[in-house]
Chains A and B, each alone.
Chain A
Amino acid sequence: MKWDWNAVDGFMPYFWDGLLVTLQALVLGSLISFALGLVWALLMRTPSRWVRWPVGVVTEFVRNTPLLVQLFFLFYVLPEWGLTLSALTTGVIGIGLHYSTYTMQVYRAGIEAVPAGQWEAATALNLPVARTWRVVILPQAIRRVVPALGNYVIAMLKDTPMLMVITVLEMLGQARLFSQQHFQFTEPLTVIGVAFILISYLASLLLRALERRLVH
């Protein structure tokens, strides 16, 4: 086996396209999982079990079935029900939904870690419940869970290649396409491998900076 820099040069334009798609999937998937996970976590705290029960069942189901199966389902079954989305949109929703069932657990732990005294002080000051959540509980809970949420961003990054199976040309998709056309596998796969490491590393640096800022 020999390393061919020309193959690297040839792959780079496709690599940039793939990188852009990977980053889109990662950023949008993260945002969806952060937002949706928080919604699940809050719904699980409502007094009504008619809310908690269905949310519990749905999120448990999503968490305990493979992301790959969910992606296939969203991509091939939803259109049969009349809902057709682009491959990337489907993938972003799939990843975001799947990981929201993990981030909800992270939020739950963060919310439970806020001392009961904070709720009591808010009650004593007569703050409305919604306001208590917004300005007292969630700021403290979220500050605590940023590191844990960050871990799921890295995990999501490593799951983005699954989008290939629903025709999204992210980094691995581009590498595979290039390899099959040029019969050169080593170079494109190495390039995207290095790219995954770099993105993970940069993401973790960013998260650490964010953590430091939050600890005031």
Chain B
Amino acid sequence: MSTDTVKNPETNPEKHPGELIRLEQVTKRFGDNTVLDHLDFSVQAGKHVTLIGPSGSGKTTILRLLMTLTKPDEGTITVDGQQLFPAPEKQVREIRKKIGMVFQQFNLFPNMTVLKNITEAPVTVLGMSKDEAEERARDLLDLVGLADKCDARPTQLSGGQQQRVAIARALAMRPQVLLLDEVTSALDPELVAGVLDVLRDIARSTDITMLCVTHEMNFARDISDQVLMFDSGRVIESGPPEQMFSEPEQDRTREFLSAVL
């Protein structure tokens, strides 16, 4: 295992212009298993960052930490200059408003129609009017190619369609950051392309920051500004996709890429 850290922690923790997400010395353990090991990294606003690496290397845990679905054991996480752990509930809610997440298992609410899945949070959390929320939901469904599925139940949709609804649902909250957690891993192979096309579209046509855990290397190469290679809870190498995929410096990265490409 390489212990090189690619990014050194900044000496001045106060000002990082353009920086949206910052993790400093973040450690997360599950029992004896150290999933993240004094991790440092940051994401600039508007960038698309892809996390790659073997299973269990801590990629998903980073997304879950940012979404406050789990807590770090050590270290600090800041989003848009606001610290996340520890933070008063009100501040946590403010930070969460800036972040959207799409899950591997979609996690749509099966007891609601597609439209209600998308409008529920904008209405109750953002205080949007029902009409406005529905109008925007229809636009978003159009964007993900499911304009005709407003009144369907999630269970009536294919996995790929469900995932596209989940993307629309996350976007409906107008997040600054979109966290994508292996969003195609649970899909049948023929449904993967449709979901990735939608995400490519969003990456191209919006200025949303994306943090993406994926095993789809072609997709990663297409959309990423930066690729981070994880191993054993650390970033062992990072760089633009051209460099990472064609001439990685670390043996471990080369080994991993030759196994998955």
Q: How many A-B residue pairs lie within 8 Å, measured between CB atoms?
A: 58
Q: A126-B93, A126-B96, A126-B121 are in contact. Are A118 and B107 (CB under 8 A)?
A: yes
Q: Once bound together, how far apart are the Cα atoms of A120 and B66, in whole Å? A: 12
Does A127 sit at the interface, judged by CB under 8 A?
yes
**CB within 8 Å of B: which A136-177 residues:** 136, 139-140, 143
Question: What's the tally of chain A residues with a CB closer than 8 Å to chain B?
Answer: 18
Provide the residues of chain A in CB contact with B97, threshold 8 Å.
Answer: 126
Q: Once bound together, how far apart are the Cα atoms of A194 and B143, in whole Å? A: 62
Q: Once bound together, how far apart are the Cα atoms of A216 and B125, in whole Å? A: 28
Check if A126 sits within 8 Å of B173, measured CB to CB.
Answer: yes
Q: Shortest distance in angstroms between B170's beta carbon and chain A's nearest beta carbon?
A: 7
Q: Once bound together, how far apart are the Cα atoms of A126 and B100, in whole Å? A: 9
Candidate in A117, A120, A128, A135 with the most chain B CB atoms within 10 angstroms: A120
Check if B125 sits within 8 Å of A126, measured CB to CB.
Answer: yes
Which residue of chain A is the closest to B101 with respect to CB atoms? Answer: A124
Q: Shortest distance in angstroms between B86's beta carbon and chain A's nearest beta carbon?
A: 16
Q: Once bound together, how far apart are the Cα atoms of A131 and B122, in whole Å? A: 13
Provide the residues of chain A in CB contact with B110, threshold 8 Å.
Answer: 140
Does A121 sit at the interface, judged by CB under 8 A?
yes
Check if B170 sits within 8 Å of A124, measured CB to CB.
Answer: yes
Does A86 sit at the interface, judged by CB under 8 A?
no
User: A108-123, CB under 8 A of B: which get 1 and which 0?
Assistant: 0000000101101101
B interface majority secondary structure: loop
Give the contacting residue for A127; candidates B101, B108, B124; CB below 8 A.
B124
Check if A123 sits within 8 Å of B96, measured CB to CB.
Answer: yes
Check if B153 sits within 8 Å of A216, measured CB to CB.
Answer: yes
Q: Shortest distance in angstroms between B176's beta carbon and chain A's nearest beta carbon?
A: 13
Q: A124-B100, A216-B153 are in contact. Are A135 and B120 (CB under 8 A)?
A: yes
Pairs A–B under 8 Å by Cβ, sample size 5: A117-B107, A125-B121, A125-B173, A126-B173, A135-B111
A-B pairs with lowest CB-CB distance, top 7: A125-B121, A121-B107, A117-B107, A124-B101, A139-B111, A126-B96, A126-B125
Query: Interface on A for B, CB 8 Å cutoff?
Result: 115, 117-118, 120-121, 123-128, 131, 135-136, 139-140, 143, 216
Given contacts A121-B107, A127-B124, A135-B111, 4 further A-B contacts (CB under 8 A): A115-B107, A124-B103, A126-B97, A136-B109
